[in-house]
Amino acid sequence: MITSFKSLALNPKILENLDSLGFTSMTPIQAEALPLILEGHDLIAQAKTGSGKTAAFGLGILNKISTDTKKIQSLVICPTRELAVQVAEELRRLARTIPNCKILVITGGVSEYQQLSSLEHGGHIVVGTPGRLLKFLKKGALNISSIDFLVLDEADRMLDMGFQEDMVSIIGFAPRKLQALLFSATFPPEIAELSEYFQVNPKRLQVDAKHEENIIRQIFINVGDHRQKMEGLIKVLGHFKPESTVIFCKTKQICADVASMLIKQGISALPFHGDLEQNERTVVLTKFSNHSCLVLVATDVAARGLDIKDLHAVINFDLPMDAEVYTHRIGRTARAGKEGLAFSFYVGSEREKLEEIENFLEVKNETLELADLNTNARFDLVAPMKTMYINGGKKDKVRPGDILGALVNEAGLTASQVGNITIQDRQSFVAIEAAQINQTIEKLLNGKIKGRKFKVGLA
């Protein structure tokens, strides 16, 4: 299979940008999907998270974009705000050499006024979530009557979240003649029904549905009964000592209970589920990504579409209902060819699920008993960083260099004591070495960033 981007009929400016970004060769989903997209085919593609599918559809969209008009030409629908923001950021990166290409994010959980204002000034690509998109379409604030591309990203998760009617309604506002791309990690029957509604003779791809053997070490642990899972969790963390972990639970209540138990054990953990407000979700994900929190306890719906880098382990506190969901969960570790760990607790009545996973992945399961784990293992899962918020962001012309300069000059930190700097429209988050966080906040409360005073505090 040809994997060079230069083998494709891409705009020279796009190829130049891909070179500068270090995109030397296509991932499997890009190599199979991009030629079909560039030829104008509708597409149904199955690929795991982290496979490079955003670039697959993104490059197809950008290759056809015209910045001579301010009309919206492409719409990408995502299940969550977090995924929509990630997709938009990736598209902006890919579009760096296309002058005046405007990419808008339309999602719930943030100010409608700012989004409506952005739409009034026009744009070329809209990335959004079903609820807010449909609301704006119905009130006439968003016009997709001239789009060339319609992309459903993580379509199966949008179905799980009850967005089927919203998606169908949104499609009704789009022109009948367009290029329709559907990406999904799993293929439930409803995917075929959705495809029939808005696609014409789509090509179908299944890439990276399974994981390379030995890259993810998969271990199934017999816990006897469900009550022993908490004990098993502590033993797994103590025995294997993963530096960052996502734990999957089947309900919001179990998710909250597990996080609470871990915190009582002195482990840096946070719950992540559908009951969290948008600002809470943002803080939790920021803390996890900048190592202010080492364990994320999540439900499938909440965690879907998250691009978590350098994740050492995934733990299935509860086994998922089917093998495809299991595959999607564990695919969050071992990104970019790195090795990863995947642990799954099971009870005797769940042996059929283990066999289903074994048959689907075509590998022999590695199993352990709780007694096989080192009960005397000592471990420290206290986060090395803490997160400071700053009530200033992109709209205030605050840049990462401004924040780092203030931390070094005003707060007396060294660059090595500062971690990730995340800048949003009106707020920023900075990871600071845990031992330095209090004095840093105190000094910045009395100091300035870019010559201005901003409210700061512990996130």
pLDDT band at residue 306 using 50, 70 and 90 as cut-offs: low
Q: Torsions phi, psi of 99, nearest 5?
A: -60, 135
Query: Could you tell me if residue 87 is inside a domain?
Result: yes
Q: What is the pLDDT of residues 176-186, one digit of tens each?
A: 899 999 998 88
- Residues sharing a CB contact under 8 Å with residue 397, sequence separation 6 or more, in sequence order: 450
Query: Could you tell me if residue 377 is inside a domain?
Result: no
* CA atoms within 13 A of residue 290's CA, in its CB half-sphere: 27
Q: What is the mean pLDDT of residues 341-358?
A: 90
Checking if the pLDDT of 225 tops 80, the result is yes
Length of the chain counted residue by residue:
459
- Residues sharing a CB contact under 8 Å with residue 435, sequence separation 6 or more, in sequence order: none
State residue 303's pLDDT score: 64
Q: What is the pLDDT of residues 6-16, one digit of tens each?
A: 888 889 999 98
pLDDT band at residue 153 using 50, 70 and 90 as cut-offs: very high
198 and 71 both lie in a single domain: yes
Query: Could you tell me if residue 359 is inside a domain?
Result: yes
181 and 235 both lie in a single domain: no
Q: Answer whether 250's CB lies under 8 Å from 350's CB.
A: no
State residue 389's pLDDT score: 92
- Residues sharing a CB contact under 8 Å with residue 346, sequence separation 6 or more, in sequence order: 220, 221, 222, 223, 319, 353, 354
Displacement of CA 406 from its chain's centroid (Å): 30
Q: What is the pLDDT of residues 42-79, one digit of tens each?
A: 999 987 666 788 999 999 999 999 999 889 999 999 98
Checking if the pLDDT of 160 tops 90, the result is no
Asked which of 338, 372, 406 is the last residue of a domain, the reply is 372
Strand order in the sheet with 103-106: 103-106, 125-128, 74-77, 149-152, 179-184, 43-46, 203-206
344 and 232 both lie in a single domain: yes
pLDDT band at residue 213 using 50, 70 and 90 as cut-offs: very low
Query: Could you tell me if residue 138 is inside a domain?
Result: yes
State residue 342's pLDDT score: 92
Query: Could you tell me if residue 211 is inside a domain?
Result: no
359 and 420 both lie in a single domain: no
CA–CA separation, 347 and 56 (whole Å): 40
196 and 224 both lie in a single domain: no
State residue 238's pLDDT score: 87
* CA atoms within 13 A of residue 110's CA, in its CB half-sphere: 20
267 and 182 both lie in a single domain: no
223 and 287 both lie in a single domain: yes
Q: Torsions phi, psi of 74, nearest 5?
A: -145, 145
Q: What is the pLDDT of residues 383-441, one digit of tens each?
A: 889 999 999 988 888 888 899 988 998 889 998 899 989 888 889 999 999 999 999 99
Q: What is the mean pLDDT of residues 107-125?
A: 90
Query: Could you tell me if residue 358 is inside a domain?
Result: yes
Q: What is the mean pLDDT of residues 219-238?
A: 90
CA–CA separation, 200 and 188 (whole Å): 19
Asked which of 171, 206, 241 is the last residue of a domain, the reply is 206
CB atoms within 10 A of CB 224: 14
State residue 359's pLDDT score: 87
Checking if the pLDDT of 192 tops 60, the result is yes
CATH at residue 29: 3.40.50.300
% of the chain surpassing 70 pLDDT: 93
State residue 304's pLDDT score: 64
Nearest to 158 by CA among 179, 119, 186: 186
Q: What is the mean pLDDT of residues 271-282?
A: 84
Checking if the pLDDT of 268 tops 60, the result is yes
pLDDT band at residue 376 using 50, 70 and 90 as cut-offs: low
256 and 165 both lie in a single domain: no
CA–CA separation, 391 and 224 (whole Å): 49
Checking if the pLDDT of 27 tops 50, the result is yes
First vs last C-alpha separation in the chain: 48
DSSP bridge partners of 203: 43
CA–CA separation, 162 and 156 (whole Å): 10
Domain total of the chain: 3
Picking from 70-74, 189-193, 370-374, which range would have the lowest pLDDT averaged per residue? 370-374
Asked which of 155, 188, 206 is the last residue of a domain, the reply is 206
225 and 322 both lie in a single domain: yes
201 and 220 both lie in a single domain: no
CATH at residue 431: 3.30.70.330
422 and 355 both lie in a single domain: no
Query: Could you tell me if residue 380 is inside a domain?
Result: no
pLDDT band at residue 311 using 50, 70 and 90 as cut-offs: confident
Query: Could you tell me if residue 378 is inside a domain?
Result: no
DSSP bridge partners of 130: none
Checking if the pLDDT of 139 tops 90, the result is yes
State residue 50's pLDDT score: 66
Checking if the pLDDT of 373 tops 90, the result is no
Domain interval for residue 227: 216-372
141 and 235 both lie in a single domain: no
- Residues sharing a CB contact under 8 Å with residue 395, sequence separation 6 or more, in sequence order: 425, 426
Q: What is the pLDDT of residues 335-344, one digit of tens each?
A: 655 678 999 9
The mean pLDDT value of the chain amounts to 88
